[in-house]
Amino acid sequence: MKAADLAGRLSERAKAQGFTLFGVAPAAEADGFDRFTAWLDAGHAGEMDYLENQRERRRHPSSILPTVRSVVMLGFEYGHAVLEPEPASPSRIAKYAHGPDYHPFLWNKLNDLASWLEAEEPGCRAKGSADTAPLLERDFARRAGLGWFGKNTMLIDKQRGSFFFLAALLTSVELPVSTPHVASHCGSCTACLDACPTRAFPEPGVLDARKCISYLTIELRGSIPLELREPMGGWLFGCDICQDVCPWNRKEKLGAFPTNSELAELDPVELLSLDDAEFRRRFRGTAFFRTKRTGLLRNAAIVLGNTGTATAISALELARQDDDEVIREAAEWALSRLRQRLAMN
């Protein structure tokens, strides 16, 4: 089969799986590898040691599939911007966490695409990757024509915005490559930079993960720095602020990613009563499982310190006696902060 015909049929197969973005990049060294290593050397990765440990492997996709000749980049939408202020709520949760853990969700679709491609082109190899493999996905997505890097470091597409997961299908088949996205369409806009409450962008296009609310609530394992707790506001898990304010996300879109209303709104008071077994039962198979009980209850305490009412005091008093030191310390801080807020009202 001609490579162009094969790519067209693969695109249709991907579309049937729910992917709304499709492009092909040549399997070459990642454009931004030097930028990535400079970012690591500046310490911006914080405690995400896995990035440092696999630094060199991210130079070229052959570290994942030695025979790779093409990198098919895909986008799967999961939400859209909140165009109006959200009603007051005890906590806020990043939209991508409103459904199942996206890793196995995407892996299943990528495995289908890989099996289909290997059946269509006997003797070829194909391997899927979604976030966990040592691949600089944004670099290959830009090279595949899927969008440009926004000032908030997100990949942005003119039609689809930035609320989409990136996934890659590496293959030994040489497919026709897409036209790379060269231009940036952010112009003079700095909405994303100005809106970040923790000032996580030292300059446009550079994210200091150590100040990012998503990092603080998910990746950081210990106590959250004191100076960053109040700016976190009501964010319990992740953060969407820099995407919500982006003009390219103004169009409402309905992605195919399944959502669960019970995960979109969690009560931080109720969360503080969870033991480890109940946490595992309730959150296994979701993005929340990554924080473990310690991280989620730590976050719940901080949210209550920032946004809670007097009804949260008893839950925080109980959390202050937890066996976990990180949870105890967060609850202690939250009680002091909450009582200070109540005294001022």
Nearest to 149 by CA among 138, 140, 158: 138
The one-letter amino acid at 342: L
Gap between the Cα atoms of 276 and 41, Å rounded: 36
- Does 244 qualify as catalytic in the annotation? no
Question: Of 31, 112, 131, 267, which residue is the catalytic one?
Answer: 131
β-pair type (164-171, 126-129): antiparallel
Query: Which two three-digit tokens encode residue 293?
Result: 């009980």
- Give the number of C-alpha atoms closer than 13 A to the C-alpha of residue 248, restricted to the C-beta side: 26
Distances (CA, A) of 186 to 149, 155, 195, 248, 298: 9, 11, 15, 9, 36
Long-range (24+ apart) CB contacts under 8 A made by 276-285 are 285/100, 285/101, 285/104
63 class by beta-carbon count within 10 Å (0-12 exposed, 13-18 middle, 19+ buried): middle
Instruction: Name beta bridge partners: 128.
Output: 169
User: Catalytic site residues?
Assistant: 131
